[in-house]
């Protein structure tokens, strides 16, 4: 398949104070692990996610207790809240009433038409969107029978089926996900979806695995999709603390230059010329810059032989030089710093540069 640029050509859909679609921006989402009816635990988790850079959060809504907790959770968080519902339209109505900023429900699974109409009417009245979540593992039986097994065409057919139900009720604030745990299937499904409709796409490789394997699988799949200009919001799904999902999402967007409020670390792969304990320095600097909201490029290099030259593109960095380091800015050496204070000095300089960036 050829080049597709779908991202900015999608329909803008409001979710709380954010807009998904209609631009090049990608919104980072995650999902809580706490029991949603446990308001304190859920709010604490959401606040940790917000701190890490999560922009929209989703909670599971398996029962009425969870649905009734939405209004209290909403009062205590600062980012838009998505409520994930399977089948039960009454839970959707309670969640919408409680202030959900978006619901994830497949209209074709709700049942009788009156029930679908009630949910759509409530969502319209509050001006909130509905995400249709197509999942290769739970495609409608008639679609699986038609294709024999879950295929990208089958997934698009399922999406169009749910979309039509909403469009027939004159509802268009729709976001669609096309999740599969098979990377090739997910890539094909998102490409075909991008060609089939202009609703914004929520990206994800579902059940991708643990922190290490799932990060690689998600980066491989979502990287291919993002590189085609597809995707308006994303969630990395990991069997790990959801804060890790947000970190991975931010790092992935950085790789494509699709995030403007994050600093990037460049560190050398190390070799026999290494003059400082580069691996621990790189890890410490990486951890530190998680909270830097300016798009700075920071470089940490093991030696000065190629150091400043290799780092010409960086805003600031350190190159090791036998027990000390050369601190450089924009490729020019500024001063020497002893190894013991090197990281602290670099952190201070990063803070100054970040402050200057926001003064501009
Ligand atoms: Fe080796 Fe120096 Fe390059 Fe690092 S910066 S890979 S230590 S030559």
Domain map (residue ranges) of the chain: 7-256, 264-358
CATH number attached to the domain at 264-358? 3.30.413.10
Residue 4, pLDDT score: 85
Contact 252, 311 (CB under 8 A): no
Residue 360, pLDDT score: 78
Q: What's the CA gap between 211 and 187, in Å, rounded?
A: 21
268 marked among binding-site residues: yes
61 marked among binding-site residues: no
Average pLDDT over residues 143-158: 96
Structure tokens at 195: 């060609």
Structure tokens at 145: 């029978």
Q: Is the dihedral of CA 57, 63, 69, 74 positive or negative?
A: positive
Structure tokens at 80: 């838009």
- Which single residue is written with the structure tokens 């398996």? 62
- C-beta of 273 in contact with ligand 1 (< 6 A): yes
Q: Indicate which residue's Cα is closest to atom 2 of ligand 1.
A: 303
Residue 97, pLDDT score: 98
Residue 55 pLDDT level (bands cut at 50, 70, 90): very high
Quickly count: other Cβ atoms within 10 Å of residue 355's Cβ: 10
Same fold, 7-256 and 264-358: no
- The rounded Å distance from CA 275 to ligand 1 centre is 9
Residue 161, pLDDT score: 96
Fold of 7-256: TIM Barrel (3.20.20)
DSSP character at residue 53: T
Average pLDDT over residues 199-223: 95
The pLDDT > 90 percentage for the chain reads 87
pLDDT at residue 310 is higher than 80:
no
Residue 338 has φ and ψ, to the nearest 5°, of: -65, 150
Atom of ligand 1 nearest to the CA of 307: 5
pLDDT tens-digit readout, 122-137:
999 999 999 999 999 9
Q: Which long-range contacts (CB under 8 A, 24 or more apart) does 192-196 make?
A: 192/152, 192/153, 192/155, 192/156, 193/155, 193/156, 193/159, 194/4, 194/6, 194/228, 194/230, 195/4, 195/6, 196/156, 196/159, 196/160
Contact 202, 189 (CB under 8 A): no
Considering the chain, what is the average pLDDT of its residues?
A: 94
Atom of ligand 1 nearest to the CA of 303: 2
pLDDT at residue 1 is higher than 80:
no
Residue 208, pLDDT score: 83
pLDDT at residue 141 is higher than 60:
yes
Does ipTM surpass 0.95 in this model?
yes
pLDDT at residue 2 is higher than 80:
no
Residue 80, pLDDT score: 98
pLDDT tens-digit readout, 65-101:
999 999 999 999 999 999 999 989 999 999 999 999 9
pLDDT at residue 200 is higher than 80:
yes
Average pLDDT over residues 280-298: 94
Atom of ligand 1 nearest to the CA of 310: 5
Residue 231, pLDDT score: 98
Average pLDDT over residues 337-350: 94
271 marked among binding-site residues: yes
Residue 308, pLDDT score: 57
Contact 15, 102 (CB under 8 A): yes
- The rounded Å distance from CA 296 to ligand 1 centre is 21
Structure tokens at 203: 């990206």
- C-beta of 271 in contact with ligand 1 (< 6 A): yes
Residue 110, pLDDT score: 92
- C-beta of 2 in contact with ligand 1 (< 6 A): no
Residue 5, pLDDT score: 92
Q: Which long-range contacts (CB under 8 A, 24 or more apart) does 112-120 make?
A: 115/89, 116/89, 116/165, 116/169, 117/169, 118/89, 118/93, 119/89, 119/92, 119/93, 120/166, 120/169, 120/171
- The rounded Å distance from CA 303 to ligand 1 centre is 5
Residue 138, pLDDT score: 92
Burial readout 315-337 (b: 16 or more C-beta within 10 A, e: otherwise):
bbbbbbbeebbbbbeeeeeeeeb
- C-beta of 268 in contact with ligand 1 (< 6 A): yes
- The rounded Å distance from CA 260 to ligand 1 centre is 28
Residue 331, pLDDT score: 78
Atom of ligand 1 nearest to the CA of 268: 4
Average pLDDT over residues 219-225: 97
Residue 322, pLDDT score: 86
- C-beta of 301 in contact with ligand 1 (< 6 A): yes
pLDDT at residue 307 is higher than 70:
no
Nearest to 285 by CA among 296, 272, 274: 296
Atom of ligand 1 nearest to the CA of 269: 6
How many residues appear in the chain? 360
Q: How far is CA 322 from CA 45, 92, 269, 333, in A?
A: 44, 63, 18, 16
């Amino acid at each position: 398949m050829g080049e597709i640029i779908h991202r900015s050509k999608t329909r803008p859909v409001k979710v709380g104070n954010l807009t998904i679609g209609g631009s090049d921006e990608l919104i980072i989402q995650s999902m809580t692990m706490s029991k949603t009816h446990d308001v304190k635990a859920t709010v604490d988790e959401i606040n940790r996610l917000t701190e890490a850079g999560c922009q929209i959060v989703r909670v599971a809504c398996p029962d009425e207790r969870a649905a009734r907790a939405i209004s209290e959770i909403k009062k205590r968080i600062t980012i838009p809240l998505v409520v994930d519902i399977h089948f039960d339209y009454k839970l959707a109505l309670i969640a919408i009433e409680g202030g959900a900023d978006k619901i994830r429900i497949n209209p074709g699974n709700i049942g009788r038409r009156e029930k679908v109409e009630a949910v759509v009417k409530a969502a319209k009245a509050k001006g909130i969107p509905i995400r249709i979540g197509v999942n290769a593992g739970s495609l409608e039986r008639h679609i699986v029978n038609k294709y024999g097994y879950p295929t990208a065409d089958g997934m698009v057919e399922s999406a169009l089926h749910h979309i039509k139900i909403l469009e027939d009720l004159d509802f268009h604030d729709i976001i669609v996900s096309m999740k599969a745990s098979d990377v090739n299937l997910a890539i094909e499904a998102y490409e075909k979806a991008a060609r089939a409709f202009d609703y914004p796409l929520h990206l994800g490789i579902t059940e991708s695995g643990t922190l290490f394997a799932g990060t690689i699988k998600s980066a491989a799949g979502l990287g291919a999709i993002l590189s085609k200009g597809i995707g308006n919001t994303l969630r990395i799904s990991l069997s790990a603390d959801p804060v890790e999902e947000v970190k991975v999402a931010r790092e992935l967007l950085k790789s494509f230059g699709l995030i403007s409020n994050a600093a990037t670390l460049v560190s050398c792969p190390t070799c026999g010329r290494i003059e400082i304990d580069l691996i621990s320095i790189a890890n410490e600097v990486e951890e530190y810059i998680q909270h830097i909201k300016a798009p700075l490029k920071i470089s940490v290099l093991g030696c000065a032989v190629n150091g400043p030259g290799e780092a010409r593109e960086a805003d600031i960095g350190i190159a090791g030089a036998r027990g000390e380091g050369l601190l450089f800015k924009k490729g020019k050496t500024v001063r020497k710093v002893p190894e013991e204070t090197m990281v602290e000095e670099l952190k201070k300089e990063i803070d100054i540069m970040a402050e200057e960036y926001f003064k501009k």
